[in-house]
Amino acid sequence: MILESYILGKWIAGSGEGQSLYNAVNGEYIAAASTEGFDMATIMEYARTKGNTALRKMTFQERGLLLKALALHLQQYLPELYTLSYKTGATKADSWVDIEGGIGNLFSYASLRRKLPDLPYWPEGEAHMLGKAHTFMGHHLLLPKEGVAIHINAYNFPVWGMLEKIAVNFLAGVPAIVKPATVGCYLTQAVVKQIVASGIFPEGALQLLCGSTGNLLDLVNAQDTITFTGSAYTGLKLKTTPAIVQNNVSYTMEADSLNAIVLGNDVAPGMPEWDLFIKEVRKEMTLKCGQRCTGVRRILVPENKIEAVQQDISKALSQTIIGNPLHEKVRMGSLAGKTQKAEVLHQVQLLLQSSELVYGNLDTVEVMDADATAGAFMSPLLLRNNNPLHSPEVHAIEAFGPVSTLMPYHNLEEAIHITKLGKGSLVSTIVTASAETARNYVLGAGTHHGRILILNQQCGKENTGHGSPLPLLVHGGPGRAGGGEEMGGLRGLQHYMQRVAIQGSPDMLTAVLQQYQQGANGIAATVHPFKKYFEELRIGEQMITPSVTISHDLIDAFADLSGDHFYAHLRNTNFEGTMFTQQVAHGYLLLSLSAGLFVDSYEKNPVLLNYGIDELRFTKPVYPGTSMHVKFTCKEKISQERKEPTDIARGIVKWLVEMIDDTNELVGIATILTMVKKQKQ
């Protein structure tokens, strides 16, 4: 049976015999995977014309809500996904990281919509006034690329590997073609089947290739984005594909690396940090049977503590039950397949040229409720290298399984140097109770790592672990680790978007960006803006308020009411040598008076509440006798979804508040947020 791929809006099986797929636990045949006969050019064109066109028309809010709906939908199918995941050799804990961790990424990126505009594109950062007369300005704009995201994924996380990537490109407004590692693509296919069946995303938004990419990478252009997760060797080979090089295609690589965990010299047996260190090493060696790009490959320990560490790690590993992932007592399953096991053992032999095996067995492993010869099981292997400064193999060869090498260091500077010998890593962990040690390690090793975990007793229970990338933080690393970044919150979207600098008048930029730009002509409000429902408000709608005069009495009263008796706000202060010439108004008094000027009486209106302040600056001292008015402008609108059917339909409106004195100079500026009721309930 040939496993079907999802292309061109259909489930289609490739021709030929394909690559056989086997249960990693018992060796049983599952299916074969093939993309032979697929027209990759048509597949690419379908993604661009169908998926891209549909996604680009949606706003960030709409895309984010689709991600949320998808996450909720997939949660309904956890039992069947877990059942299938066991065939990859994954335990329940392994599968939780893969399946529910992947769904968690969807939720995280769905939530990020709240930080984005209710537009299909993203006006990025601040505007820049480019002329003294304030008639010429510039802004950066991020637009969804007109191509497709091609995701070539590793075999270790068939679900998370896909979901963590498509969450980002979907929110950015770009479709995806996913090529999972063939050995576990049947699990990825099961997830895609549920995504397709849900009908949540538009036609062409997602396609799946179960098998080879064929000539897919020969068809890319500058509007496409490629992400690769896997070995550094394969990643570099693909990166030099002529079409990628010639078209300057965005290529993000996340490669396996020689990640290190370092035990601080301040940590001794009996300390909480010691136990945390041992547990973290055991977890990183056994979770997913050590098949993680972020896994610990090098264990750096002060030379006077290496014997104790070796003894405790060996003891912890000996207590790890290996076998059938379906058995409740099993804590480590199998590798993804026998091919992967053979590769790991080959790499171990290369490492043993300069290291010795201090725990584990190369030939046999005791398993529970399974046949060790039928499945891809192997023993955890702890190696020791006593001379890491002169053993290049240990910093260059990765055995992608439950294998790690213990090595000594003399001082922190040497430990930092040893970590750098890996020539770039995804992650490193420093376990220490010393703030000085932590700071020196981060500042010394940070240039060679994509992420650093500082682990101590204080965060021990809540920390997410050395090997767990998080959606809001970058996942990637320099050098051997690939030189790329994935996720990283909003940063991740920029891989799928084109940044263009736009220049023009404030009026033109307001019209293009659909966000009011300071200095643009406003639309005179004929009725008070607070009397309007969300749908009725227009970007640029503006009200000029009456003036209020600041007096000594007002300043005194506000000081007494607020308790803010800072010397600058007192009448009898000697102002010589200060920034001021006399008593000055509180900035918050100006903001409070501004609210009194732009708020619409006490009549009930569509404004439900004040939601907060995004920006606030006081730009000029205001002295008694100064008059001030407010230019109050609708800056941006963001629709909100109902969380419950009984909720009031509403949206967030951002208002630009410009506080202007009687010389027509700005004394303060703020962006305030209100929650406004929609007319249509």
Active site residues: 254, 293
Quick one: tokens of 655?
Answer: 């208002």
Q: 3-class SS at 115?
A: helix
Q: State how far the Cα of 473 lies from the Cα of 411, in Å rounded to an integer.
A: 30
DSSP state of 100: I
Q: State how far the Cα of 630 lies from the Cα of 633, in Å rounded to an integer.
A: 9
**Residues with Cβ within 8 Å of residue 348, at least 6 apart in sequence:** 362, 381, 383, 399, 403
**Residues with Cβ within 8 Å of residue 368, at least 6 apart in sequence:** 321, 322, 323, 324, 327, 329, 330
Placement of tokens 């096991």 in the chain: 341
**Residues with Cβ within 8 Å of residue 412, at least 6 apart in sequence:** 264, 265, 437, 440, 441, 444
Q: Strands 541-544 and 548-549, how do they pair?
A: unpaired
Contact (Cβ atoms closer than 8 angstroms) between residue 252 and residue 484 = yes
Q: Residue 322 forms beta bridges with which residues?
A: 332
Contact (Cβ atoms closer than 8 angstroms) between residue 447 and residue 478 = yes
Q: State how far the Cα of 248 lies from the Cα of 253, in Å rounded to an integer.
A: 15
Placement of tokens 């500082």 in the chain: 454
Q: State how far the Cα of 451 lies from the Cα of 46, in Å rounded to an integer.
A: 37
Q: Residues for the chain: how many in total?
A: 681
Placement of tokens 């039992």 in the chain: 79
Distance set, CA 278 to CA 127, 403, 410, 416, 566 (Å): 51, 15, 20, 20, 53
DSSP 287-325: GGGG--TT-EEEEEEEGGGHHHHHHHHHHHHHT--BB-T
Angle between helices 185-198 and 160-172 (to 10 degrees): 40
First-residue to last-residue Cα distance in the chain: 52
Would you say the C-alpha torsion 74, 77, 82, 84 has a positive or negative sign?
Answer: negative
DSSP state of 48: I
Quick one: tokens of 183?
Answer: 């050995």
CA 409 to chain centre: 34
Q: State how far the Cα of 201 lies from the Cα of 368, in Å rounded to an integer.
A: 43
Contact (Cβ atoms closer than 8 angstroms) between residue 254 and residue 486 = yes
Whole-angstrom Cα Rg for the chain: 30
Q: 3-class SS at 564?
A: coil
Q: State how far the Cα of 332 lies from the Cα of 325, in Å rounded to an integer.
A: 7
**Residues with Cβ within 8 Å of residue 577, at least 6 apart in sequence:** none
Quick one: tokens of 275?
Answer: 């136990």
DSSP 639-661: E---SSTTSPPEEEEEEEEEEEE
Q: 3-class SS at 182?
A: helix
383: left (phi over 0), alpha (psi -120 to 50) or beta: beta
Q: State how far the Cα of 563 lies from the Cα of 570, in Å rounded to an integer.
A: 12
Nearest CA to 611 out of 267, 114, 70 is that of 114
